Amino acid sequence: MIPGPTPVPETVLKAMGRHPIGHRSGEFQAVVRRTTEQLRWLHQTQADVLVITGSGTAAMEAGIINTLSRGDKVICGDNGKFGERWVKLAKAYGLDVQVVKADWGQPLDPEAFRTALAADTDKKIKAIILTHSETSTGVINDLETISQYVRAHGTALTIADCVTSLGACNVPMDSWGIDVVASGSQKGYMMPPGLSFVAMSERAWQAHKRSDLPKFYLDLGPYQKTAAQDSNPFTPAVNLYFALESALTMMQAEGLDAIFERHARHRAAAQAAMKAIGLPLYAAEGHGSPAITAVAPEGIDAELLRKTVKEQFDILLAGGQDHLKGKVFRIGHLGFVCDRDVLTAVAAIESTLQSLGLHKGNMGAGIAAAAAAMN
Amino acid sequence: MIPGPTPVPETVLKAMGRHPIGHRSGEFQAVVRRTTEQLRWLHQTQADVLVITGSGTAAMEAGIINTLSRGDKVICGDNGKFGERWVKLAKAYGLDVQVVKADWGQPLDPEAFRTALAADTDKKIKAIILTHSETSTGVINDLETISQYVRAHGTALTIADCVTSLGACNVPMDSWGIDVVASGSQKGYMMPPGLSFVAMSERAWQAHKRSDLPKFYLDLGPYQKTAAQDSNPFTPAVNLYFALESALTMMQAEGLDAIFERHARHRAAAQAAMKAIGLPLYAAEGHGSPAITAVAPEGIDAELLRKTVKEQFDILLAGGQDHLKGKVFRIGHLGFVCDRDVLTAVAAIESTLQSLGLHKGNMGAGIAAAAAAMN
């Protein structure tokens, strides 16, 4: 029950476990062709969705270095660890970075972006860069509204880390007008880590032509060119491609609406359960991520709770990152997670609080609330 | 029988097929700790060997961007497709690239490097960059001698693509004084593609401190720092790590000398067989790679031969790349390949030549020569 690597269905593991095949073979081209169409379905886009062998950070970096140039002015949203990563990444490439901050646990304020964009009458701002679902704090940012403001600006691109939102909630790339969507395989995709994905709008490709940032492995030009021939510029992780096709086939069978509803239901259950047992949520009310619920159990050592849950029940909860270590634990409900998993996690947390003498409410109140939220 | 992805033992596939675990867990740290030691063994080094989720090209790029700075003068060896890639990569990062060329099929001339390095009395040359085993032509370059000349220069680093030499022949990083060794998982490692490896000498780390090329995902600094804690800076491909540990354990059981002897034996067998049936080798005499034998079957359509061998015997031979397409085929004998595999490939080639009416020698001469070379 961590936000990645997430649980992987046995069907997907089996698909991954077959012997690799030549990456220039017709058989592999057929896999690339099918997954390309499936990825467009998942992103709700007609744009190119390119597959990189690498971590999600590689996809984030690709989003920046393929669309921007040295000294370009950009605004990064930063309300958690992955927002911070955007800032570091943009600075590593010599961009002129302005940061719109929010406290950890709070969402980014769309109004801050609107104001900055409206004031930029000479169109110096080349990109708004932000994280959709901030995994470190369990906060979902209002990407839809912010990308509307970016569209109104007319020049800037919207570059979004959708690593823990894609496949968990609605991220309709084309209708929201997002220019770059970055994601990673070990999240909503229900498969092991090792592949990352970058979807690029037509506007992003126009920017690619102008971009002067140095790049080679992450230059998306050759990826686009070879994708048109159902291939890749470099040897891809072919076994992870097998897993990808299998996982996306399962997702298509469930359907996007059902997937989003399931994640919303599990968020509601996790939130209701934690409130019912007196554990405050870390994310501001109404801004919880559909992928992960962060809990700040005041007066309780979150690491002790995690350790005990792991030892007795073999359920891994995520800890707090950086300054939140020991103060926060996080329940991942992302990807291949069913109602039973959420109920089990809540029961294990309640039982552990009871055994540690730390349960603040009525034993069973969490389960009751979770069950009510899922019915 | 292609030079990558190479055959993967069932044990390795099974190790890879288990459910992923958290990449920050103690259990995964133990995997990282063990594989780090195994990688040092394979590289015959005390240096850091870092693991990147990515293709071999990512490791090559990491070798350049972590040790060099904008405008640095470098010499790239180029006698095939992967030599060309080094040139493109170095130019993409604004290096001042001088190219030492040899015709495809010929080895790089160490004397050309010695002369250039000796003439560089003001020590402007910062690196000699070359491919050890040139997969496109089946030529092995004399990395040992060239790195000796680089050491005599005193300032320049040796940066080597050992993608199809590591695990096939002797590449003792420390005793040869190589500064950067780049490799990829789908080659001598006997595992699927998706991981790449960069070993960095102490001199290379000194250069890392001065390097001003922009980098983030491929910045080896955070990899070194987290490796010291048996961890990774970004979510690694944990299932490929399982495969890595399994494959390196098998390699350790066989032993480096035995592995090198096996590859040398298969090279001898493939070369002898092709000569015996009147098919000229593409690589210059005495410079054939232990990983792959390129054959230039004059007057025979190499693509027709490959296609027929695939259709009748389900054995995939590699084709010629770029201008060699149709003129060359390549027999991979890299990684998890046994005497039977080489004998089978030779038999299939002979049989196919006979059925096409193209056998130029006595039917069975190839098998006889291969068997003699392996006995």
A124 pLDDT higher than 90 = yes
Nearest CA-CA distance, residue A332 and chain B, Å: 12
pLDDT in tens, B168-199: 999 999 999 999 999 999 999 999 999 999 99
The DSSP output letter for A11 is H
Q: What six digits make up the tokens of B311?
A: 């259709």
Q: Calculate how close chain B gets to A126, using CA atoms only, in Å.
A: 19
| Complex prediction ipTM | 0.95
Q: Is the pLDDT of residue B51 over 90?
A: yes
d(CA B295, CA B350): 13
Closest by CA position to B237, among listed A252, A238, A18: A238
- State residue B101's pLDDT score: 98
Q: Could you tell me the domains of chain A?
A: 10-254 (3.40.640.10), 256-374 (3.90.1150.10)
The H-or-E segment that residue B369 falls in is helix B365-374
Question: B356 near B30, Cβ under 8 Å?
Answer: no
- By C-alpha distance, the chain A residue nearest B185 is A237
Quick one: which of A140, A131, A77 has its CA closest to A105? A140
Confirm or reject contact between B151 and chain A (CB < 8 A). no
Q: How far apart are CA B109 and CA B161, in angstroms?
A: 17
Q: Provide the shortest C-alpha distance from residue B338 to chain A (in Å).
A: 17
Amino acid symbol at A316: L
Q: How confident is the model at residue A194 (pLDDT cuts 50, 70, 90)?
A: very high
Q: Say what the pLDDT of residue B361 is.
A: 86
Q: Which residues 158-177 of B are in CB contact (within 8 Å) with A?
A: none
B226 touches chain A (CB under 8 A): no
pLDDT digits (tens, 9 = 90+) for A44-92: 999 999 999 999 999 999 999 999 999 999 999 999 999 999 999 999 9
Cβ neighbours of residue B266 under 8 Å, at least 6 residues apart? B290, B333, B337, B339, B342, B374
Rounded CA-CA distance B344/B340 in Å is 6
Condensed to tens digits (0 to 9), the pLDDT of residues A276-300 reads 999 999 999 999 999 999 999 999 9
The whole-model pTM stands at: 0.96
For residue B340, give how far its alpha carbon lies from the nearest alpha carbon of chain A (Å): 19
* pLDDT of B282 higher than 90: yes
Rounded Cα–Cα distance for residues B98 and B126 (Å) = 11
Res B288: pLDDT: 98
- In this predicted structure, what is the pLDDT of residue B302? 97
**What pLDDT score does B360 carry?**
85
Q: A219: pLDDT confidence band, cut at 50, 70 and 90?
A: very high
B4 neighbourhood in chain A, CB within 8 Å: 235
Kindly report the length of chain A. Answer: 375
B189-213 burial: b if 16+ Cβ within 10 Å, else e: bbbbbbbbbbbbbebbbebbeebeb
pLDDT tens column, A244-277 = 999 999 999 999 999 999 999 999 999 999 999 9
pLDDT, residue A265, reads 98
Instruction: Report A:20-59 residues touching B (Cβ under 8 A).
Output: 20-23, 25, 53-58
Does residue B111 belong to the interface with chain A, where contact is any CB pair within 8 Å? no
DSSP string, A156-216: PEEEEE-TTTBTTB---HHHHT-SEEEEETTSTT-S-SSEEEEEE-HHHHHHHHH--S--S
Question: Is A93's CB within 8 Å of B238's CB?
Answer: no
Q: pLDDT, tens digit, for every residue of B63-110?
A: 999 999 999 999 999 999 999 999 999 999 999 999 999 999 999 999
Q: Is the pLDDT of residue A208 over 90?
A: yes
Strands A133-134 and A125-131: unpaired
Q: What are B63-74's pLDDT values in tens digits?
A: 999 999 999 999
Helices B56-65 & B81-92, crossing angle to 10 degrees?
A: 40
B4 at the A interface (CB within 8 A)? yes
Average pLDDT over residues A304-312: 96
The residue among B55, B332, B46 whose CA lies nearest residue B182 is: B55
User: Nearest C-alpha of chain B: how many angstroms from A243?
Assistant: 10
Nearest CA in chain B to A55: B235
**Count of Cβ atoms closer than 10 Å to residue A291 Cβ:** 32
Whole-number Å distance between alpha carbons of A28 and A4? 27
B216 near A CB under 8 A: yes
Tokens in use for B1? 């029988």
> pLDDT band for position B227 (50/70/90)?
very high
